[in-house]
Amino acid sequence: MKVAIVGGGPSAFYVASRLLSRLNDTRLRVHVFDRLWAPHGLVRYGVAPDHPEVKNCTNKFDKVAADPRFRFYGNVNVGTPPPQGMAQTVQLGLDDLQRHYSHLVFATGCTLPALHTALAESPWSMPALGFVHWYTQHPSAPPPPALDTLTHVSLIGNGNVALDIARILLTPPAVLEKYDVPQPVLDLLRRSTVRHVDIIARRGPINAAFTAKELRELIHLPDASMRPLDPALLIPPPSASRQQSRILQLLGQGSRNAFGSTPKTWALEFFKSPTGIAPPPPGESDPRLLLANTALDAEGRSVPQTPAPPLRTSLVIPSLGFRAEPAPTPFFDPALGHLRAHAGRVLDADGRVVRNVYASGWAANGAKGVLATTMMDAYAVADVVATDLGVPVEGDVQGDAAAALADMHPEFAMNPAPADDFPPPKVAAARVVTYPEWKRVDAEEVRRGELLGKERERMGWEEAEAFLWDGAPVDLIQK
């Protein structure tokens, strides 16, 4: 009854929480491994800093970590090569986990940006994930955007992440400085010369991917105003949901400030899709974003129509969602962009269940849903694990547990009777960050933030390493 969970974000902690609460057995061990040195995944490195309420789930994760049967090991990379900027991670092979654990759960999320075929890598483009990782000080340390040389930013996509980025660019730094925004990020935002942000969507307002809450925050910014939309776009069809009708109503009302009366402006460009980026004309510094007008076909798909006028812009930020990295298993499906899984269980290429191997959250389903969706999926997967451990679960867990277990993958195997010992020796001898170490860093970040009048001031890895160990030999792992 020794469970390894790969990934340390919300899905991992929700799986652990459910297992620990369902299984009242002192022999149970739940160990979480994350290649990031700090826990909580997207909650720490994806949530917009001016949305601190979304991070309240970490209070629950602290309670999970207090269970003596739980361990967190940060700075441990399983299988795949570590991402850029994280060469300090301890490397574990999948075989290490197979030897030391009876059950394995992948909660690795979706950590790569979804790409647009028309937007090749260029000096004038930066993925939304890189921008978010910049303002959350992700350990991969993407280069900062040159905001002090830009005037116009074009976001491709109109999901909540796109609106988060627009809001960060358009909000006065004096408003942001009380939140969890690192000082180097604030310093660059104070020097920013960005004056306009376009948010480009291939469908219309009725199909907007953002929520009314995100839109409301954008239209109420103190120093920004929205370009009014054509009223013809905002007539709700009879089939409009309450949420859709509310969004159309907000768009019709427009921003609190009249367009053009503020230092910064923004616009929603509907029914447009990028076709490329042209270099700056001679004597200019801004490229041209090439666009096509779009229309919806009978199935509701966006189809390019006539060319639209090129848009002069300084930086293009595609914000089209996320995709998973090829996982450190033979069970990643490139066509799906995530692990092959059904009802919580990982499958091989022939559709057979891999015994005692599971996937939860975005690792299993792709990048969709909100935090509550992730929580419910993680609980369901944990119930499958509990069932396989012999714990009765009310109802028919995931629908077809008995049928699924009838046809098993014959080769990949976990250890049915792992010793109740430390994690793999490579981890026991390395500078991993356990949860008690993280709580020390957490408290210090909050203390430093209080001195600056803000929520917290974050540490990078080098600073956290010096704070925790100061270069002294360490023996971190305790049973």
Which part of the chain is CATH 3.50.50.60?
113-321
> Annotation-wise, does 11 bind a ligand?
yes
> Annotation-wise, does 78 bind a ligand?
yes
CA dist., res. 173 & res. 186, Å (int): 6
Work out the average pLDDT over 47-57: 95
> Per-residue DSSP letters for 218-232?
HHT-TTEEEPPPPGG
Query: What per-residue confidence (pLDDT) applies to 327?
Result: 64
Give pLDDT tens digits for 436-452.
999 999 999 999 999 99
Query: What per-residue confidence (pLDDT) applies to 345?
Result: 94
| For the chain, percent of residues with pLDDT exceeding 90 | 75
> Annotation-wise, does 194 bind a ligand?
no
Query: What per-residue confidence (pLDDT) applies to 400?
Result: 47
Asked whether the predicted pLDDT for residue 403 surpasses 70, the reply is: no
> Annotation-wise, does 214 bind a ligand?
yes
CATH topology of domain 2-111+324-469: Rossmann fold (3.40.50)
Is residue 358 helix, strand or coil? strand
Query: What per-residue confidence (pLDDT) applies to 270?
Result: 97
> Annotation-wise, does 43 bind a ligand?
no
Work out the average pLDDT over 167-174: 98
Query: What per-residue confidence (pLDDT) applies to 164?
Result: 98
Give pLDDT tens digits for 341-373.
999 999 988 888 999 999 999 999 989 888 999
Asked whether the predicted pLDDT for residue 42 surpasses 60, the reply is: yes
Work out the average pLDDT over 367-385: 93
Q: Give the pTM.
A: 0.92
Work out the average pLDDT over 175-195: 97
Query: What per-residue confidence (pLDDT) applies to 472?
Result: 40
> Annotation-wise, does 102 bind a ligand?
no
> Annotation-wise, does 161 bind a ligand?
yes
Asked whether the predicted pLDDT for residue 426 surpasses 80, the reply is: no
Q: Under a CB-based contact definition with an 8 Å cutoff, are residues 151 and 195 in contact?
A: yes
113-122, 276-285, 388-397, 435-444, range with the lowest pLDDT: 388-397
Q: How confident is the model at residue 125 (pLDDT cuts 50, 70, 90)?
A: very high
Q: How confident is the model at residue 476 (pLDDT cuts 50, 70, 90)?
A: very low
Query: What per-residue confidence (pLDDT) applies to 84?
Result: 73
Asked whether the predicted pLDDT for residue 229 surpasses 50, the reply is: yes
Q: How confident is the model at residue 332 (pLDDT cuts 50, 70, 90)?
A: confident
> Annotation-wise, does 160 bind a ligand?
yes
Q: Under a CB-based contact definition with an 8 Å cutoff, are residues 49 and 181 in contact?
A: yes
Work out the average pLDDT over 46-64: 96
Work out the average pLDDT over 116-132: 92
Contacts of 359 (CB under 8 A, 6+ apart): 105, 106, 107, 338, 339, 341, 344, 345, 346, 381
Asked whether the predicted pLDDT for residue 314 surpasses 50, the reply is: yes
> Annotation-wise, does 269 bind a ligand?
no
Work out the average pLDDT over 124-147: 95
Give pLDDT tens digits for 59-75.
999 999 999 999 999 99
Asked whether the predicted pLDDT for residue 47 surpasses 70, the reply is: yes
> Annotation-wise, does 456 bind a ligand?
no
Q: Under a CB-based contact definition with an 8 Å cutoff, are residues 458 and 450 in contact?
A: no
CA dist., res. 211 & res. 425, Å (int): 47
Backbone φ and ψ of 243, nearest 5°: -65, -45
CA dist., res. 468 & res. 432, Å (int): 11
Residue 15 C-beta-side C-alpha neighbours within 13 Å: 33
Query: What per-residue confidence (pLDDT) applies to 379?
Result: 96
CA dist., res. 397 & res. 387, Å (int): 8
Which part of the chain is CATH 3.40.50.720?
2-111+324-469
CA dist., res. 61 & res. 422, Å (int): 22
74-78, 424-428, 455-459, range with the lowest pLDDT: 424-428
Q: Under a CB-based contact definition with an 8 Å cutoff, are residues 71 and 435 in contact?
A: yes
Query: What per-residue confidence (pLDDT) applies to 56?
Result: 95
Work out the average pLDDT over 418-424: 77
CA dist., res. 265 & res. 170, Å (int): 8
Asked whether the predicted pLDDT for residue 474 surpasses 70, the reply is: no
Query: What per-residue confidence (pLDDT) applies to 334?
Result: 83
> Per-residue DSSP letters for 383-399?
HHHHHHTT---SS-TTT
Q: Under a CB-based contact definition with an 8 Å cutoff, are residues 361 and 107 in contact?
A: yes
Asked whether the predicted pLDDT for residue 401 surpasses 60, the reply is: no
CATH code: domain 113-321 is 3.50.50.60
Q: Under a CB-based contact definition with an 8 Å cutoff, are residues 450 and 400 in contact?
A: no
